[in-house]
Amino acid sequence: MAKGMREIKRSIKSKQNTKQITKAMEMVAAAKLRKSQEAALAARPYTDKMKEVVSSIASGAGGSKHPMLQSRPIKRTAYLVITSDRGLAGGYNANILRKVLLTINENHKSADEYAVFVIGRKGRDFFKRRNITIVEEVTGVSDTPKFSDIKEIAAKAVQGFEAGTFDELYLAYNEFFNAITQVPTLKRLLPLGQIQASADKSEYEYEPSSEEVLNVLLPKYAETLVFSAVLEGKASEFGARMTAMGNATKNATKMIADLTLTYNRARQAAITQEIAEIVGGANAQQ
């Protein structure tokens, strides 16, 4: 019985240590979530303004004929998948990776029909384990991402479409709604399609010409959308991690309570047994 009680006490201590770790990770994730959420919100006005300018140019004469706005027969599809470098974030990585893999298996018969770009160590390892070739990868993105962190992979993905290496590009990431809700999203990034003209009827003059400005601006706009998705992904990651660690802390608390009850019952039974043995020994001596 004493041996069993020692094991229970050791298990309680282990669960208490785990609880301290998960509680600390929950608090760290909550702090980082606030910063990531602020960064994602701060990036939206820039993206919206760029879309307004692009819409204005594209709605002009000849703008809508730009190759990045035109659909073409789909022979090869590219996927730019955004994941995290670390785990312990609930279903954050698993949900988006499962969605991408299911889409690949449903829409493509051979590896020649698709290409994969990956941001995040978890995504890279996932595709490598399944022998899926990765065209370009980026790992070690900081918790406060900068555009320079993903500029190279975003540019290569956009250039691949422009060069005709693939005919459409999808962006796979977790869209952030709140700390509890992150939705795995697969969104077509290229071709951009016919961008709706802005309600703002302001007229702009471009130098040297609207077509040349559009040639420079459209790739930058696509890269900005990738960066915006990375910011959304970071906010989603910390929201998922905060929720996962909060649930882990609650589970640890419940397990500690159950083990403590079991320990107290075992201790009570041991004391009762000792009293019974003492009483029995005393009666035997009479």
Listed by start position, the domains of the chain span 2-26+244-285, 43-243
pLDDT (mean) for 72-93: 94
Q: What band does 195 get if pLDDT is binned at 50, 70 and 90?
A: low
92-107 and 210-285 helices, crossing angle to 10°: 120
pLDDT at 141 over 70: yes
Q: Are 147 and 112 in contact (CB under 8 A)?
A: no
Average pLDDT over residues 216-229: 90
**DSSP secondary structure letter of residue 197:** P
pLDDT at 236: 94
Q: What is the pLDDT of residues 225-255, one digit of tens each?
A: 999 999 999 999 999 999 999 999 999 999 9
Per-state percent for the chain, helix, strand, coil, to nearest 5: 65, 10, 25
- CATH number of this structure's domain 43-243: 3.40.1380.10
Quote the pLDDT of residue 6: 87
Q: What is the mean pLDDT of the chain?
A: 87
Q: Lowest mean pLDDT of 62-71, 126-135, 177-186, 262-271, name the range.
A: 62-71
- What average pLDDT does the segment 110-129 reach? 96
- State the DSSP string of 204-272: ---SS-HHHHHHHHHHHHHHHHHHHHHHHHHHHHHHHHHHHHHHHHHHHHHHHHHHHHHHHHHHHHHHH
pLDDT exceeds cutoff 70 at 134: yes
CA distance 270 to 259: 16
- Give this prediction's pTM: 0.85
- Residue, of 214 and 118, whose pLDDT is higher: 118
When pLDDT is cut at 50, 70 and 90, the band that residue 3 belongs to is low
Q: Which fold has domain 2-26+244-285?
A: Helix Hairpins (1.10.287)
**Measured in whole angstroms, how far is the alpha carbon of residue 286 from the centre of its chain?**
76
Position 133 confidence tier, pLDDT thresholds 50, 70, 90:
very high
